[in-house]
Structure 1
């Protein structure tokens, strides 16, 4: 499914606004300046995404997933390679080494994921005037196919970097829409562009 350049530009701006809001909330959480790089946006099928990730050296990712329903239905996920997840936990908790407590590690990633995903999805929902309902975030460690599944649909992939306290942390926001939901998203974007 191909998007027009205007649709891609609007999607990019929606993601940028959400990432900016998330950076502001994360700054308050960790009481240090966090800069989120403007994400590079791609639209892929789940199979294309799986093929892209198959070329990476590490196939297991730390991911926080947030399901959403409404006019758009799907799953958003914030994923990190394991080394980036470990760095992020250390910076957020202020520890020099990875905490041994698995519960604390999971809770930290869930909180960061919840902030970022709510910032991004909230921006999309608010600007397009399409209310969404969210489930509580889940934390998983899995390969990309287990995270996004193999269903028919489209995945928005926003690759970004978190910069905080001299650390660069790679992460990606994935938003998986069913095909009908993706069509609804594009109609909402076209309606916004026509206003």
Structure 2
């Protein structure tokens, strides 16, 4: 599926606004300056994304997933390579907290960060397009990319971004997985916004 340059520009701007909003909320949460780089946006089919990730050295990712329903429905996910997840936990919990930090605290920390980022991004898309969304509670999993994106025939928005905090660069990606019908609804809303 090919998007027009205007559709891509609007999608990129919606994601940028959401990422900016999420960065502001994360700054308050960890009480340190977090900068989220403007993400590079790509629209891929699930098999294209799986091929792209197959070339990476580590096949297991830490992921927070947030399902959403409404005029368009799907799953948004914030995924980190393991080393980025560990760095993020270190920064959020403080370096001294790591040795004693149990698995549930690590999971809760990543879930909270993922929830903030994904709500920021999805909330901005929903608000600007005037399409209310309902969310399920976030889930945390460690899995390969195929398990994270599932076996659908939809389209995936991939926004690669970097968190900069306390001299650390942490790589992460926001994936928004739509069914084909939902993706068509999203593009219809974007076209209506552009025409308005």
Report how many aligned residue pairs link the two structures: 195
Query: Would the aligned equivalents of 1:47 and 1:150 in 2 still touch at CA under 8 Å?
Result: no
**2: CA distance between counterparts of 1:173 and 1:55?**
19
The 5-angstrom pairing of residues 4-83 of structure 1 reads 4-83=4-83
**Residues 134 and 98 of structure 1, relative CA distance in 2, 3 Å threshold:** farther
The 5-angstrom pairing of residues 1-195 of structure 1 reads 1-96=1-96, 97=98, 99-195=100-196
Matched residue SS, 1:20? helix
- TM-score of the superposed pair, with normalisation by structure 1: 0.99
- TM-score of the superposed pair, with normalisation by structure 2: 0.98
- Point out the more displaced range, 59-68 or 91-100: 91-100
Deviation at 1:98, TM superposition (A): 5.3
Query: Would the aligned equivalents of 1:158 and 1:172 in 2 still touch at CA under 8 Å?
Result: yes
**Residues 99 and 122 of structure 1, relative CA distance in 2, 3 Å threshold:** farther
Runs of 4+ in structure 1 displaced over 6 angstroms?
A: none
Deviation at 1:150, TM superposition (A): 1.8
Q: Which runs of 5+ in 2 are unaligned?
A: none
Query: Would the aligned equivalents of 1:15 and 1:123 in 2 still touch at CA under 8 Å?
Result: yes
**Residues 25 and 156 of structure 1, relative CA distance in 2, 3 Å threshold:** same
Deviation at 1:99, TM superposition (A): 4.6
**Residues 98 and 2 of structure 1, relative CA distance in 2, 3 Å threshold:** farther
- Point out the more displaced range, 97-106 or 84-93: 97-106
Deviation at 1:95, TM superposition (A): 2.1
Deviation at 1:100, TM superposition (A): 3.7
Query: Would the aligned equivalents of 1:99 and 1:105 in 2 still touch at CA under 8 Å?
Result: no
Deviation at 1:124, TM superposition (A): 0.2
Matched residue SS, 1:130? coil
Query: Would the aligned equivalents of 1:33 and 1:164 in 2 still touch at CA under 8 Å?
Result: yes
